[in-house]
Structure 1
Amino acid sequence: MTPPDVLDAADPLAPFRDRFVIDDDLVAYLDGNSLGRVPQATLERLAAFVRDEWGSRLIRGWEDAWVDLPVTVGDELGEALLGAGAGQTVIADSTSVNLYKLLHAAIGVRPGRDEIVIDATNFPTDRYLVESVAASCGLTVRWLRPDLVDNVTVEALADVLGERTAVVVLSHVDYRSGTLVDLDAVTQLVHEHGAVVVWDLCHSAGVLPIALDAAEVDFAVGCTYKYLNSGPGAPAFLYVAERHLTAVTQPIAGWWSASDLFAMSDTYEVAPTIRRMLSGTPSVAGIVAVQEGVRLIAEAGTEAIRAKSEALTAYTIELLDEAGLEIVTPREPALRGSHVTVRHADARNITDQMIARGVVPDFREPDLIRLGLSPLTTSFAEVEAGVRILVDCVGDARR
């Protein structure tokens, strides 16, 4: 096995690690798929924002630039991370709120159909919202129950699609196993059945190349605090394909979605652009942090980030195999995202022990330990040290 220091020396993205705040008290941070590290540029940008924009310009900041930030940064994110042309992506709200909006929008473009398809293993927010929106709109939920590792396949999905299917809601990368679902093939299949698809990109945006326009995706949503390193609670993004923009409506018709938000009109006239998906006043500081994260990813390039992600996950799997641990993540690099998951009956206790020893992984009920590998900040030496302590904690659990 190649030593980690040799792998780090050959890593073209290694210099990016120095552009983040690295915790001296941690042996390894393996939870970047839940919350990314802080970019040094973000510290400087936010300080300048508070001092020079908010502090000096006050309310004039809206006219200077802030009003356009949701769309301008949305376009930057769409181009750098999503393969999305201008005018289709906007930064707003949380993933949950954006998904709520998109579910209503998606149902609206398929009138006369009364089923929403989602897998029973999807992230809780997605499942809860689908159930809630389906109930309020009089639709039925069709549940997929996929295998943990194989996850949602074209074959399994084909069995539940039909003339009643209005919307399919899926995660691009499974939050538990790290399995990467075939976005292109699934989108094509959904369209063949006359339905539309809403993709959750929370565990894929920023860590692998995505081509929403080329795949003819209808709608997508994602967070920015994982691989985009935008901070806890940072605003999310949503994508609406241009072909749907004039037809979609969303249920939170705030003043920011009006065609002229400062007209204060007695009647509501929706904006003809992606702004129609906005609602209330945006978090300017949050969007500024998103912009810095997007710029780092654009500089590194998603192809290079994906190459390192595959190398990191392969190295992690090699170390775990050597230790004889059970892995519930696909072995084929093209079938996985950027985290590797270990199954162990005493996973919660092991996770607590790892954290006490300076290694931060992520526990998922009932028996899963996720090792999140963020290519711009995770080194091979960090992975080796983290897995070594994981193996020690597993040994302690057996005694």
Structure 2
Amino acid sequence: MLERARELDTADPLADYRDRFDLPEGVIYLDGNSLGALPKTTPDRLAQVIGEEWGHDLIKSWNTADWISLPQRVGGKIAPLIGAQSHEVIVADSVSVNLFKLISAALAMNPGRKVILSEPGNFPTDLYMIQGLEKQGLATQRLAARDALVDALDEDVALLLLTHVHYKTGEKHDMASLTKAAHEAGALVLWDLSHTGGAMPVELNECAADFAVGCGYKYLNGGPGAPAYAFVAERHHEALEQPLSGWMGHAQPFAFDDDYQPAPGVDRLLCGTAPILSVAALEEGVDLVAEIGVDRLWEKSRALSEFFRECLSEAGVKLDLVSPEDAYHRGSQLSFRHEDAYALCQALIARGVIGDFRAPDVLRLGFAPAYLRFEDMAETARHLAEVLESGEWRQAEFSERAAVT
């Protein structure tokens, strides 16, 4: 399979982009769905912001370097990657904070309804934000299994909150049909794109989505703790009210009025001052993803994951696949169930193959096609076969590894 992998790499139209990332020698990085690799342009960009814009121009850079509009500018660049208009997306805060803002906004836009519908096993922060509002008496959480979500939509549901691609299994929701069903029930819809944005095509406007959030540190390669982004459909801009009415979300922040007046459109989602270094780093990753093109990334992602499954079969590796069989129904990852998945993951890391573990028993491998090769797939399958056959994952003692998103 290694020879075939190298033939596929030679024919890969995205192969040259691997050199645009700073990747450690001897490492196969299959954790890009938790933290994307470092674009080689990012250190120079940050050095410019630190040394020239901050160090030399100081406060003038809010104007001369246009720091003030950086959240809008980078949001506008993310917009076409998720099927939105440039003025519908803004970079701000974290996914968790943006969830809180938009859940609250949806409740205010749907008076008389308090139920937030989601599914058990959704990413914890999505559920925790619902529960936080529930403790304040502002919302009621309702959970329904995937195949029961449509039936759970009734006149009490204000908002359907779902993650487009499930963080653990990689299973993808049908955004268009679920959004349509929610609207028919009088509910709004908020999509979490954290495992989608920058990895696969999304058509928020085509699907008539109301709101969306997503993170910047996974497939957008914005760096650890990179700011998130938020989408609000243009039709909701006037009605949008969010509870974190910070000064940067004011219509005239430098008028320093005592009373809050929301900025027009999606700008009202801003709260405090933008973290300029972090947003500047995110812009480098977004620019690179936009240059490559999401459609091409998605095509290669599917090819990588299917080739990896072929390699596993060729190597005689039998693991319980918990991701959908059909590549079109899953995100850019494959997840496998194994009773000792944590130890198995650690054994692979010791060999330089970095995937991750999801409790209680899932080995998750993320495919970031901008910098992964078909050769990496063949080598990972070889390592996995050797680890399972040798039993080294049983023998080694592993220190606990933090589980990141």
Q: Work out whether the TM-score is over 0.5.
A: yes
Task: Give the structure 2 partner of residue 326 of structure 1.
Answer: 320
Q: 1:300 aligns with which of 286, 289, 292?
A: 292
* Alpha-carbon displacement from aligned partner over 1:352-377 (angstroms, at most 9, x marks no partner): 11111111110000010001110101
The 8 Å contact of residues 355 and 365 in structure 2, kept in 1 or not, is answered as yes
Quick check: 1:355–1:361 contact (8 Å CA) kept in 2? Answer: yes
- How far residue 44 of structure 1 moved from its aligned partner, in angstroms, is 1.7
Residue number in structure 2 paired with 1:8: 9
* Superposed CA offset, 1:279-301 (max 9, x none): 00101111111111111111111
Aligned to 1:383: 377
The answer to whether the Cα contact below 8 Å between 1:95 and 1:237 also exists between their aligned partners in 2 is yes
2:343 and 2:394 in contact (8 A); partners too: no
CA contact (8 A) 1:317 1:340 kept: no
- Within 5 Å, give how 1:331-346 maps onto structure 2: 331-346=325-340
Q: Deviations over 1:211-242 (max 9, x none)?
A: 11111110000101010001000100001111
Q: In the alignment, which residue of structure 1 is the partner of 2:279?
A: 287
CA-to-aligned-CA distance 1:316-362 (integer Å, 9 cap, x gap): 22223441221111111110110001110011111111111111110
Matches of 2:185 and 2:301, distance apart in 1: 34
Where 1:122 maps in the other structure, the secondary structure is coil
Partner of 1:315: 307
SS at match of 2:86: coil
* C-alpha distance in 1 between matches for 2:263 and 2:38: 35
- 1:44 aligns with 44
> Contact between 1:32 and 1:226, CA under 8 Å: does it hold in 2?
yes
Distance across 1 between alignment mates of 2:168 and 2:309? 16
Deviation >6 Å, runs of 4+: none
- Asked if 2 retains the 8 angstrom alpha-carbon contact of 1:105 and 1:249, the reply is yes
Q: Does 1:70 align with 2:62?
A: no
TM-score (normalised: structure 2): 0.93
Q: Secondary structure at the match of 1:56?
A: coil
- CA–CA separation in structure 2 for the residues paired with 1:391 and 1:10: 27
**Which segment drifts farther, 289-298 or 385-394?**
385-394
Identity of aligned residues (%): 43
Q: Is 2:247 the partner of 1:255?
A: yes
Partner residue, 1:60: 60
Contact 1:224 1:237 in 2 (8 A): yes
Q: Which amino acid aligns with 2:62?
A: W
1: CA distance, partners of 2:205 / 2:227: 22
Q: Separation in 2 of the partners of 1:348 and 1:324?
A: 17
What are the Cα deviations for residues 61-118 of structure 1, in whole angstroms up to 9, with x where unaligned? 1122011111111111112x11111211110111111111111011111111121101
String of CA shifts for 1:163-211, please: whole Å, max 9, x gaps: 1111011001000111111111111111111100110000000011111
Aligned residues of 1:134 and 1:140 also touching (Cα < 8 A): yes
Counterpart Cα distance in 1 of 2:298 and 2:134: 36
- 1:134 offset after TM fit, Å? 2.7
- Partner-residue secondary structure (3-state), 2:254: coil
Aligned equivalents of 1:349, 1:48: Cα separation in 2: 42
Residues of 1 paired with 2:312 and 2:109: CA distance? 47
SS at match of 1:128: helix
Quote the residue 1:124 is aligned against. 124
After superposition, the C-alpha distances for 1:140-163 in whole angstroms (9 at most, x for unaligned) are 211123xxxxxx35xx21111111
User: Residues 1-48 of structure 1: CA distance to partner in whole angstroms, max 9, x if unpaired?
Assistant: 67210111111111100000010142x111000001000111221111
Q: Which amino acid aligns with 2:34?
A: S
Do 2:251 and 2:261's aligned partners in 1 also have CA atoms closer than 8 Å? yes
Whether the 8 Å contact between 1:120 and 1:144 is mirrored in structure 2 is yes
Question: Which residue number in structure 2 is paired with residue 149 of structure 1?
Answer: none
1:371 aligns with 2:361: no
- 1:222-301 mapped onto 2 (5 Å cutoff): 222-301=214-293
Q: Distance in 1 between matches of 2:374 and 2:111?
A: 51
In structure 2, stretches of 5+ residues that fail to align are 396-405
User: Aligned partners of 1:222, 1:242: CA distance in 2, in Å?
Assistant: 18
Q: Distance in 2 between matches of 1:235 and 1:109?
A: 26
Asked if residue 87 in structure 1 is aligned to residue 87 in structure 2, the reply is: yes
Q: Which residue in 2 is equivalent to 1:148?
A: none
Structure 1 residues 169 and 106: alpha-carbon distance in aligned structure 2, compared to 1, 3 A threshold:
same
Q: After TM superposition, give the deviation of residue 398 of structure 1 in Å.
A: 7.1
- Structure 1 unmatched runs, 5+: 146-151
Q: RMSD of the TM alignment (CA)?
A: 1.4
Partner SS, residue 263 of structure 2? coil
- SS state of the match for residue 208, structure 1? coil
Counterpart residue type for residue 107 of structure 2: I
The 10-residue stretch of structure 1 (43-52 or 160-169) with the greater mean CA deviation from structure 2: 43-52
Matched residues in 2 for 1:130 and 1:312: separation?
Answer: 36
Aligned counterpart, 1:199: 191
CA contact under 8 A between 2:150 and 2:178: conserved in structure 1?
Answer: no
Query: In structure 2, how many angstroms separate the alpha carbons of the residues matched to 1:317 and 1:385?
Result: 12
Q: Distance between the aligned counterparts of 1:91 and 1:40, measured in 2?
A: 22
1:141–1:9: structure 2 CA closer, same or farther, 3 Å change rule? same
